[in-house]
């Protein structure tokens, strides 16, 4: 089976990037949101990103236009009926994701493959919520999706090897480098990244150094493109808190326990760039 028509559930921070790269790679792509307002915001952001790309000389006007022509927005999951692959990129909420997979199972053809962009939830649980657990994988992209080269494909003990192969080829067709991991919370990247980010918050809270100096130290001392606090603001403080809780619940290891400062930031509404303030202030 070749994956041609793609559906993306959710046009938020991740979903819009995933829909963009699918459409850019030539796939007819349907992307959904829960209401017209959120859909319009997501579509406008895709157009803005593409248009910046044209300004930077990264793509032509024609490539931008054909990408937009390949994209259709919807607020109705029924429009995923003809998709070969549906990638779920909804809010990181277990119940919501399970409900989406149950609905998709009744809408899509029996051969359709389902992927979840979850960063921390259990793929096996999503697979068994459908009548096709052998056709469900994790398909984890990184933020900002159009710029980040990696995709993690997550295989469960129920998935068919051929499906993992098809999805891997699909990811490579998007111009990404694909790695395969087993279904263990956090997969490869977050399993190693989350303790690092939580560690940065702990040493800030204990007064080791300023956050600016910690960011500089990790950027220049390790050659990372961003320091941990800049990255936390990009990923989202609320998202990191959510992921840390799930990882702590799964492994019961102190390295995954969300530090008190992280919880206070979430309660204070300082969720990072998307709210205008996280560790840094983006209001200007």
Residue 15, interface with ligand 3HC (CB under 6 A)?
no
Catalytic residue list contains 35: no
Nearer to ligand 3HC, 85 or 237 (CB): 237
30, 46, 198, 231: which one binds ligand 3HC (CB under 6 A): 231
Phi and psi torsions of 206, nearest 5°: -85, 0
Tell which positions 175-194 bind ligand 3HC, by CB under 6 A: 190
Residue 235, interface with ligand 3HC (CB under 6 A)?
yes
143, 245, 255, 275: which one binds ligand 3HC (CB under 6 A): 143
Residue 49, interface with ligand 3HC (CB under 6 A)?
yes
Q: What Cα–Cα distance (Å) separates residue 155 from each residue in 43, 159, 160, 243?
A: 31, 6, 9, 20
Catalytic residue list contains 70: no
Residue 22's nearest CA partner among 10, 32, 30, 34 is: 30
Minimum CB distance to ligand 3HC, residue 143 (Å): 4
Minimum CB distance to ligand 3HC, residue 52 (Å): 4
Minimum CB distance to ligand 3HC, residue 111 (Å): 28
Residue 60, interface with ligand 3HC (CB under 6 A)?
no
Catalytic residue list contains 117: no
- Whether the CB-CB separation of 237 and 265 falls below 8 Å is answered with yes
Residue 58, interface with ligand 3HC (CB under 6 A)?
yes
Residue 127's nearest CA partner among 150, 160, 152 is: 160
- Cα–Cα distance, 270 to 188 (Å, whole number): 27
CA 54 distance to own-chain centroid: 24
Contacts of 206 (CB under 8 A, 6+ apart): none
- Cα–Cα distance, 140 to 174 (Å, whole number): 13
Residue 211, interface with ligand 3HC (CB under 6 A)?
no
Minimum CB distance to ligand 3HC, residue 247 (Å): 11
Residue 147, interface with ligand 3HC (CB under 6 A)?
yes
User: Could you count the other beta carbons within 10 Å of the beta carbon of residue 63?
Assistant: 14
Span near ligand 3HC by CB under 6 A; candidates 29-37, 53-61, 66-74, 97-105:
53-61
C-alpha dihedral sign at 45, 120, 161, 7: negative
119, 122, 155, 185: which one binds ligand 3HC (CB under 6 A): 119
Burial call 209-241: b when 16+ CB within 10 Å, e when fewer: eebeebbebbbeeeeeeebbbbbbbbbbbbbbb
Catalytic residue list contains 140: yes
Phi and psi torsions of 182, nearest 5°: -80, 165
Q: 244-283 mask for ligand 3HC (x: CB under 6 A)?
A: ----------------------------------------
Residues near ligand 3HC, by CB under 6 A: 49, 52-53, 56, 58, 119, 142-144, 147-148, 190, 225-226, 231, 235
Which amino acids are annotated catalytic? 119, 140, 152, 190
């Amino acid at each position: 089976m070749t994956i041609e028509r793609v559906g993306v559930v959710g046009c938020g921070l991740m979903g819009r990037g995933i829909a963009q790269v699918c459409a850019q790679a030539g796939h007819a792509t349907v992307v959904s949101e829960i209401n017209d307002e959120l859909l319009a915001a997501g579509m406008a952001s895709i157009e803005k990103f593409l248009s910046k790309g044209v300004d930077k000389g990264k793509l032509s006007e024609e490539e931008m236009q054909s990408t937009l022509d390949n994209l259709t927005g919807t607020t109705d999951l029924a429009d995923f009926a003809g998709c070969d692959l549906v990638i779920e990129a909804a809010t990181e909420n277990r119940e919501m994701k399970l409900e989406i997979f149950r609905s998709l199972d009744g809408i899509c053809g029996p051969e359709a493959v389902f992927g979840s962009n979850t960063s921390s939830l259990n793929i096996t649980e999503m697979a068994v919520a459908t009548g096709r657990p052998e056709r469900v994988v994790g398909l984890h992209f990184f933020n900002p999706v159009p710029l980040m080269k990696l995709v993690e494909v997550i295989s469960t003990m129920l998935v068919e090897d051929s499906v993992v192969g098809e999805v891997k080829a699909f990811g490579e067709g998007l111009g990404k480098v694909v790695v395969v991991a087993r279904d263990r919370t956090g997969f490869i990247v977050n399993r190693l990244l989350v303790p690092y980010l939580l560690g940065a918050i702990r040493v800030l809270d204990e007064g080791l150094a300023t956050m600016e100096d910690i960011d500089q130290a990790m950027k220049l001392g390790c050659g990372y493109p961003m320091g941990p606090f800049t990255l936390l603001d990009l990923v989202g403080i609320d998202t990191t808190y959510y992921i840390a809780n799930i990882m702590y619940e799964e492994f019961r290891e102190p390295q995954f326990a969300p530090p008190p400062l992280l919880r206070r930031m979430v309660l204070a509404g300082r969720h990072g760039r998307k709210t205008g303030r996280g560790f840094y202030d983006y209001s200007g």
